[in-house]
A and B are shown apart, each in its own frame.
Chain A
């Protein structure tokens, strides 16, 4: 299970991003997770809760958006979303393809939080 390593990387990235964007208290992390990312969502959620303890992210929610596989069909010359990750065939014409456009993402795409107003006591 590598989700624990990934949760660590996620937290590290989020803490850095929060600092850079002036967010003092992170309330939620929004993440895109491709179905081909090789990451088990439940394991990541579990790991996240463990990893944030004692960090500036403590108490934050992890919101995961699943990204389906989008392939390029060389026959139709179109990008198409697959209902299932495999078989990797064009759902319209049945052509097999290995050209994955989306579905491997493991991306932190937004943080929700607040800047404490000026004059606070830190």
Chain B
């Protein structure tokens, strides 16, 4: 046996660690574009009221468009059950111990769905403001939700997700007064990490802001259609 010698050297690689996910997300985005699906990735902490809001949104949006949802959850089917009450197509992604959704989970879960039959696809990410930030799911826009009960400085505690978001939604706005929500402080914190981000204030209880969100989504989809000539 000959003696083994190693001549050390450095090789430049320069590749994104999540390259595989990003390539898959790119393929997904292309597929969505070709079939005319506008995709929204929703992220929030647990308890921000994401499922309740999405159920209400889907019920209203479903009157004019074909909407569907994928919901990521650690273990249970409960959220999917609630979302199905809206009449939309819903599928659950059970992530087990994984605290975020990845592009391959989206791809697998879409199997068997005719994307041509969908106008809007909502992806309800796992309740977590840290981990989902790193994963592109092929979405057109990322929406970050905060509730008035979470405190005004929440955005600066999670700068990465806020900075990558296209829209911020403040939920449970009907409770703002009761919990002494300081609107200005919240907006200041939000703008400290994502200057100029559009904000919507909504309440499922009073219905405030929900039709406004729908109008916005329709406009976004239309603008996307014009830009890509795809839908």
Contact = CB atoms under 8 A, between A and B. Distances in A.
Contact of B7 (A104, A110, A115): A115
Contacts of A37: 134, 160
B195 A97 contact: yes
Interface residues of B, number: 42
- Per DSSP, chain B at the interface is mixed
B17 A38 contact: no
A109 B13 CA distance: 5
B6 A116 contact: yes
B99 interface: yes
Given A110-B12, A112-B8, A9 B18 contact: yes
Contact of B13 (A110, A119, A120): A110
Contacts of B100: 2, 5
Given A1-B99, A120-B2, A96 B191 contact: yes
Given A106-B16, A108-B17, 17 more contacts: A2-B134, A9-B19, A17-B13, A37-B160, A39-B134, A88-B193, A88-B195, A96-B192, A98-B163, A108-B15, A109-B12, A109-B14, A110-B14, A111-B10, A111-B13, A112-B9, A113-B9
24 contacts: A1-B99, A2-B99, A6-B18, A6-B134, A17-B15, A23-B11, A31-B17, A36-B160, A38-B160, A39-B134, A86-B159, A89-B192, A96-B192, A96-B196, A98-B196, A100-B163, A104-B160, A108-B13, A110-B11, A111-B10, A113-B9, A114-B7, A115-B6, A117-B7
In the complex, the 8 A-B pairs of residues with the closest C-beta atoms, listed nearest first? A114-B6, A2-B131, A87-B192, A96-B195, A38-B160, A38-B133, A98-B195, A21-B11
